[in-house]
């Protein structure tokens, strides 16, 4: 039996804040409600978000920087789909991925100043 993940997820859109209040971080939910940010966003494209009522918002926070290219950038989506379809053995802990090496090489080319190494991490 195949599960339609998006249909299942959409069934619970109206429970997002209640789920977070009960199981994740009630203080965060309270803060969002207090400042009027308790929106139900249904779409994200580039630097914009849309809520369930169709209002469009320019997202100046951009996920604290992770959306520098915007949300759902067509080129990024195409590459990710291609990579996922290849079933690559990515994120193997005891291995050197050519992809991370190539990304590091490009970053050092752009940074310049004699910097030759990159440290990849998931936060500051």
Across the beta sheet with 48-51, the strand order is: 41-45, 48-51, 56-58
Contact, 69 vs 46, CB < 8 A? no
Task: Give the pLDDT of residue 92.
Answer: 77
Greater confidence (98 vs 44) lies with: 44
Least confident interval from 10-19, 49-58, 62-71, 82-91: 62-71
pTM: 0.66
In this predicted structure, the answer to whether residue 66 has a pLDDT above a threshold of 80 is no
pLDDT digits (tens, 9 = 90+) for 20-47: 999 999 999 999 999 999 998 999 999 8
Contact, 76 vs 69, CB < 8 A? yes
Task: Give the pLDDT of residue 124.
Answer: 64
6, 33, 48, 98 from 76: Cα distances, Å: 20, 33, 16, 18
Task: Give the pLDDT of residue 2.
Answer: 60
Report which secondary-structure segment, H or E, holds 51.
strand 48-51
How confident is the prediction for the chain on average, in pLDDT? 88
Cα–Cα distance between 42 and 14 in angstroms, integer? 11
Q: What is the mean pLDDT of residues 52-75?
A: 85
Band (95; pLDDT cuts 50, 70, 90): confident
């Amino acid at each position: 039996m195949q599960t339609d993940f998006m249909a299942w997820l959409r069934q619970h859109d109206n429970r997002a804040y209640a789920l977070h209040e009960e199981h994740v971080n009630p203080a965060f939910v309270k803060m969002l409600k207090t400042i009027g940010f308790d929106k139900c966003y249904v779409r994200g494209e580039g630097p914009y978000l849309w809520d369930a009522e169709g209002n469009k918002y320019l997202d100046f926070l951009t996920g604290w920087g992770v959306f520098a290219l915007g949300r759902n950038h067509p080129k990024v989506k195409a590459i990710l789909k291609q990579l996922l379809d290849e079933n690559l053995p990515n994120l193997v802990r005891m291995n050197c991925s050519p992809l991370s090496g190539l990304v590091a090489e490009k970053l050092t080319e752009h940074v310049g100043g004699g910097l030759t190494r990159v440290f990849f991490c998931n936060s500051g």
